[in-house]
Amino acid sequence: MEAPAIDMHEVAELRVRLAEAEAALDALRGGTADAIMGPAGVVGLRGADKPYHAFFNAMNEGGLTLDSAGRILFCNPRFAAMVAAPINQLRNRSLLDWVVPDDRLAVADGLSCGSACTRGIRLLPATGAARPVLLSLTPLDVDGLRMTCAVVTDLTERVAAEAALRKSHEVLTNILDTSLDGYWRTDTKGYLLDVHPTYCRQSGFTREELLGMRISDLEAKESVAEVASRLRNIIATGRDQFESLHRRKDGSLWPVEVSVTYQNTGGGRFQMFLRDITGRKQAEAELEQYRLHLEERVAARTVELAQARDEAEAANVAKSSFLAHMSHEIRTPMNGIVGMANILRREGVSPSQAKRLDTIDTSAQHLLDVINNVLDISKIEAGKFDLEAVPVVISSLLSNISSILSERAEAKGIRLLIETGHVPHNLVGDPTRLQQALLNYATNALKFTETGTVTLRTFKQGETDDSVRVRFEVQDTGIGIPPEAVSRLFNVFEQADNSTTRKYGGTGLGLAITRRLAELMGGAAGVTSTPGVGSVFWFVVLLKKSVNTVEAMPVKLANAELLIRQHYAGVRILIADDEPINREVAQTLLEDLGLLADTAEDGAEAIALAQQASYTAVFMDMQMPNVDGLEATRRIRQLPGYSQTPIIAMTANAFAEDKAQCLNAGMNDFLIKPFNPDDMYGTLLRLLNQRGA
């Protein structure tokens, strides 16, 4: 392993710290007239050693003093931890004993040079692998006795981060090297700092010839002043895209489309992607020529362009529907996995098998959470995320969260508390998304809390004649968040700990979604945290008032399975689904309750069965061959006796527009695959009871 490279910014920072240390030592030196060299070679500053030790012990870096031979006179606990040795075993030992042999010459040279210096070396701990550090040495003279003050900064994390950055840079470089677009990186004066091979091939210049040139040297239209003006505008706006004309090495000109972004780092840098649009310009010229002289060719070209436009629009539609299809394709087999696991559990299993089935359920739920989060953030960023405007009861929200998380909290020995201030009851909003946002916070709180409490809190923050501003908080006694991580905590795919050694999992989407949901509801989100003490995550939303009395949010029917057995055993149910496993899961779950279940492989067969028999309820998949579930529902509704029959969508399509399509087609409710038996039974019982009433 090579010694780590030295970052001059870090060196400068360390020199400031050493200067402060030397000043402190000078102050201490002024309070003593004698320096005593004991028999073991340990220097003591008479009357000043206690504050001297306290100074080093307060450092985050390793701190130690060395005598003229490089022996350790004093070291703080941080250095002892770096070398994995007790402090009492370090005094009077040579510092070189704890340095990798290949780096000892560099340390010895630093100790003997007579002036402040910095060396990148590797420590050799008593146990474990070598540790890269930055060693800063400052010679001191204490009443005629020469000693050296050393500060040791651990570079382990930085070296790992640099390795990851180099790998990422290599990947990016490979992408840029093989891209069809050219790439520049320039400073704020327009000088080229980096050029990738594509532009070299396009322009005829070598990379060495281009580095150091200015943009104006390659621009055929703009002068140095004009380029400088454009760059100033880009700095103000952050990005720009425009067409330009560049000059090749042979003097010929070629049109390019330039996409520029400005990065305010390292003194300011511009990144530019340059696309050769010669073909496009030629096509435009040909089109103009055809328009002027050849009407038939113009018409033909127009057809070609229209076809290209249609293909582009089709591609855009395909991209927009990709996430929906991905969700459907994953949820469909997941329904089989979760359904079969539920059936196995209901049939009776051993304790060890039950534990494995719990693992399947947990893993499946985790995967579904990831899918749901990706879908939500994609819809939000695309501006296609719609909120409902239905009654909201805050107490019901908190009760649902408590019910969902109580078992998990009890398993960890954490108290789950609820504090509710006075909030009006006649509120309207999206209770599902409010519960999702609050559940994101509460789940994280339980994850990062080992002992103590998690408190769900809500109160009114403001009120007008037609709206109420409500604040939700989740307070925990967990590990807390470092201040430097708070600012990026709500960014998409960000977490407080993004390292490869992180203890807690997750996608980094939950908090980002919560903030976006709060903003969509006219509010905001944030956090206050103290490492080692705990955190308070909060969000505020604006809820409209309703002139009508708001009923409590519906809750799941208790003992739905038992009630169906008692009151509806023997009724006939129709299941329409093109997936054999999903049909088997639904049929088994219903027949376990004493119901009679017939199955159809597509919408056409479902219509035919409904014409032949009278069904008390129908479970209808949305996507099926021949006739889909929407059309099948519309046709079944027209059959005698089926105008009020409960028809329940049973689909892997999880978007709000899918639910709206099902309800508009005449369905009564909507089950998203994979669903658990309780959801299926509760929905069926509620609809059967409504029909009976």
pLDDT tens digits for range 636-645 = 999 999 999 9
The answer to whether the CB of 187 falls within 8 A of the CB of 193 is yes
State the pLDDT at residue 547.
Answer: 72
State the pLDDT at residue 456.
Answer: 92
State the pLDDT at residue 53.
Answer: 67
DSSP per residue, 518-572: HHHTT-EEEEEEETTTEEEEEEEEEEEE-SSPPPPPP-PPTTHHHHHHHHHTT-E
Q: Is the pLDDT of residue 133 over 70?
A: yes
State the pLDDT at residue 167.
Answer: 81
State the pLDDT at residue 382.
Answer: 63
State the pLDDT at residue 635.
Answer: 95
The answer to whether the CB of 552 falls within 8 A of the CB of 393 is yes
Tell me the CA distances in angstroms from 8 to 5, 12, 122, 155, one per residue in order. Answer: 9, 6, 18, 14
Size (the chain), residues: 693
The answer to whether the CB of 514 falls within 8 A of the CB of 521 is no
The answer to whether the CB of 534 falls within 8 A of the CB of 656 is no
The whole-number average pLDDT for the span 537-555 is 72
Digit-coded pLDDT (tens) for 498-539: 443 345 545 567 788 888 888 988 999 989 988 888 999 999
The rounded distance, in Å, linking the Cα atoms of 613 and 620 is 16
Which of 207-221, 598-612, 633-647 comes out lowest in average pLDDT?
207-221
Q: Is the pLDDT of residue 178 over 50?
A: yes
The rounded distance, in Å, linking the Cα atoms of 556 and 162 is 52
pLDDT grade for 32, boundaries at 50, 70 and 90: very low
State the pLDDT at residue 453.
Answer: 92
The whole-number average pLDDT for the span 656-669 is 86
The whole-number average pLDDT for the span 310-338 is 65
State the pLDDT at residue 42.
Answer: 33
Q: Is the pLDDT of residue 658 over 90?
A: no
Residue 423 identity: V
pTM over 0.85: no
